[in-house]
Structure 1
Amino acid sequence: MAKLTFYFDRCFGKRLPEFLERANPPFSVEHQHNKRNRFPQDMSDDAWLKICGERGWVAFTHDSKFQHLEVEALAIKQHKVAGFAIWGAQMPTWDKVCLFVRGYPKMMEIIKSEKPPYLYRLRSNARLVKVNLR
């Protein structure tokens, strides 16, 4: 398997993605605020989901409503995005890192075994639940 790229949407800000990137993980890190990709601050969810699908990036969001938003659910399906919605948008960065690390092995199992499109929700107990994209 080629080295994966994990993309963190603007809901994450800079702290978590930059922390992960500095930890030298077994995946590349991209995020909305990264100057390398020059994504506009007001980029629509559909636009960044399209990029993730085209580039084979795994998408991460804190948006708990993704499966209820018609445009986002359609974009995940249309662009064949592998996606994870992570609980804890209001939690301190350290708690987010801990949850991400706890969920990482299970997320990797899904990434290796399931063909996109899909969206899973990583809950506060590190349990992954598949989301029905309608």
Structure 2
Amino acid sequence: MTDARPQDLLADFTPPFLYTRETASRAPSAPGVHVVLEHGTVLYVGWTGDLRRRLHQHLAGNRGSSVLHDQVGQRLDEPGREASADEIADWLGQREVRWQETDFPQPLRDALVLALRPPFNRSVPVQPGS
């Protein structure tokens, strides 16, 4: 999978949408994998049992409940001032999100993280056979 281009790896995902609360509300309450992009570059890959709930959690959650929320917050923090949840949601709202429903999201997420090495994913899964 590592030789494929990002657009090929995401061929079965939805088209890109601005990552807003409205978009999150349109996502299915189903298991799947989601990606957050900036100018076509994948910043984050996540998996969940409920896409709608998880997409909302990244936007409105807290740093303890969402790796993405925490990573964006760290990017936006200034000396002596932590970025607010609204600032994090605003930043995400200027990015795009795509998703793919699947009953087995974790293997797809792991393969995408291995192939794309997104900067907001804290850890990279162990490659099979390593």
Fold equivalence (TM over 0.5): no
Q: TM-score, normalised by structure 2?
A: 0.28
Larger Rg: 2
Q: TM-score, normalised by structure 1?
A: 0.28
Question: Greater relative contact order: 1 or 2 (C-alpha under 8 angstroms, separation 6 or more)?
Answer: 2
